[in-house]
Amino acid sequence: MNPDTQPAVANPHQGIPIVEAHRDCYEQIHWLNMGEENPVRDRLLPRLVAGGVDLVVYAIGGDTLAHSNGRDKKLLATIENISELKRLCAQDPGLLALATSAADLRSIPDGVTRFLLHLEGASPLEGNMASLETLYELGVRSMQPTWNVRNELGDGVHERETGGGLTRFGVAVVQRMEQLGMQIDLSHISETGFWHVLKVSQGPVVVTHANASSVYEHPRNLTDDQVRAIAERGGVIGVHTLPTFVGGNPPSIDGLVTHVARLVDVAGIDHVGFGGDFVKEDGPRPGKEALFHDPRKEPPVLPGLTEIHELPNFTQALHARGFTPAEAAAILGGNFLRVLGEVIR
């Protein structure tokens, strides 16, 4: 293993399941484009192992240009990305696998790192319900209705001034997701869309990567009312490592733990998890992506938690703040595993 991927402190994750609730497939796409044989195994996996991660919610497609390899063919690109990931996992089945059913959600780690396929925005559906059915058959088990921008399902957070929620197609997709047994992820959606989803759905919903607006106000962070609503549905909020959403001067791991503490105060310990959404290894992003940071510049990272191999630093910070080992274990994976186990068929 590359020494750069060694944890900064002794790994406190032995024997507990760790869930990284959001990671994009940008690194996979970039290095396959550069001719590498298996970047998931050779680049990503050592960092996941160093962080103790057992399950990754993996955005295999979505609304961004980077998810579709810079093209507008988002459904085709998503199918290609799924096909490539399955090929890469098949090369090392004892190390890598997909998670497509509740039986794949291991409460006791077994040494296999599993990927639960996710869409970060529903543009790959191309406005057609048959695409949702087909992508489900290909293994997709989680989806955000939107990313930052508007799509056929509704308005993302960049369109929040319009007051727009879900379209009629968006309502139908959300309801079909519940029938199929897919995780509904409300990261990035406009606040009006957030409440619209809760109105037309029944079961748990999650926000896999966002922080507390009451700690640091940002359009991507959640109000206390939103946090309570997720908890009342039995869902989970995964904290976001990007300094843009952590705030502070300067942003820090301790500042991220402050978000955790606030979310726990509002929602309870059973409704907070670890989102991640690291950007350091994403590779180049198109300059016209609708991000909250400049994709032409070096990606912003949180000191001491720049990538998943440094997750033990976050765990130590939880302990230093007074979270017990059992509480830390719930935040690091147990809570997301519980919700996925309820939702996934």
Per-residue pLDDT band for 11 (boundaries 50, 70, 90) equals: low
Confirm whether 47 is domain-assigned: yes
Which residue, 20, 72, 82, 10, is CA-closest to 240? 20
- Structural domains of the chain, count: 1
Confirm whether 1 is domain-assigned: no
pTM: 0.94
9 pLDDT more than 80 = no
The alpha carbon of 144 is separated from its chain's Cα centroid by a whole number of angstroms, namely 10
pLDDT in tens, 189-216: 999 999 999 999 999 999 999 999 999 9
CA 186/CA 178 separation, integer angstroms: 14
Confirm whether 282 is domain-assigned: yes
Structure tokens that stand for 80 in this block: 């290609």
Q: What is the mean pLDDT of residues 102-128?
A: 96
Domain that holds residue 281: 14-343
Confirm whether 147 is domain-assigned: yes
Question: What b/e string do you get for 117-147 counting C-beta neighbours within 10 Å, with b at 16 or more?
Answer: bbbbbbbbbeeeeebbeebbebbbbbbbbbb
Q: What is the mean pLDDT of the chain?
A: 95
CA 205/CA 186 separation, integer angstroms: 7
pLDDT in tens, 272-301: 999 999 999 998 888 778 788 887 788 899
pLDDT in tens, 210-265: 999 999 999 999 999 999 999 999 999 999 999 999 999 999 999 999 999 999 99
Max CA pair span of the chain: 51
Structure tokens that stand for 38 in this block: 């298996």
Using left for φ > 0, alpha for ψ between -120 and 50, and beta otherwise, residue 300 falls in beta
Per-residue pLDDT band for 87 (boundaries 50, 70, 90) equals: very high
Confirm whether 2 is domain-assigned: no
Confirm whether 7 is domain-assigned: no
Confirm whether 9 is domain-assigned: no
Domain with 150 in it: what CATH number?
3.20.20.140
pLDDT in tens, 44-59: 999 999 999 999 999 9
CA 137/CA 160 separation, integer angstroms: 33
3-state secondary structure labels for all residues of the chain? CCHHHCCCCCCCCCCCCCEEEEEECHHHHHHHHCCCCCHHHHHHHHHHHHHCCCEEEEEEEECCCCCCCCCCCHHHHHHHHHHHHHHHHHHCCCCEEECCCHHHCCCCCCCCEEEEEEEECCHHHCCCHHHHHHHHHCCEEEEECCCCCCCCCECEHHHHHHCCCECHHHHHHHHHHHHHCCEEECCCECHHHHHHHHHHCCCCCEECCCCECCCCCCCCCECHHHHHHHHHCCCCEEEECCHHHHCCCCCCHHHHHHHHHHHHHHHCHHHEEEEECCCCCCCCCCCCCCCCCCCCCCCCCECCECCHHHHHHHHHHHHHCCCCHHHHHHHHHHHHHHHHHHHCC
Place of tokens 């037309």: 200
CA 266/CA 180 separation, integer angstroms: 30
CA 242/CA 276 separation, integer angstroms: 8
**Can you name the residues that pair with 305 across neighbouring β-strands?**
302
Confirm whether 76 is domain-assigned: yes
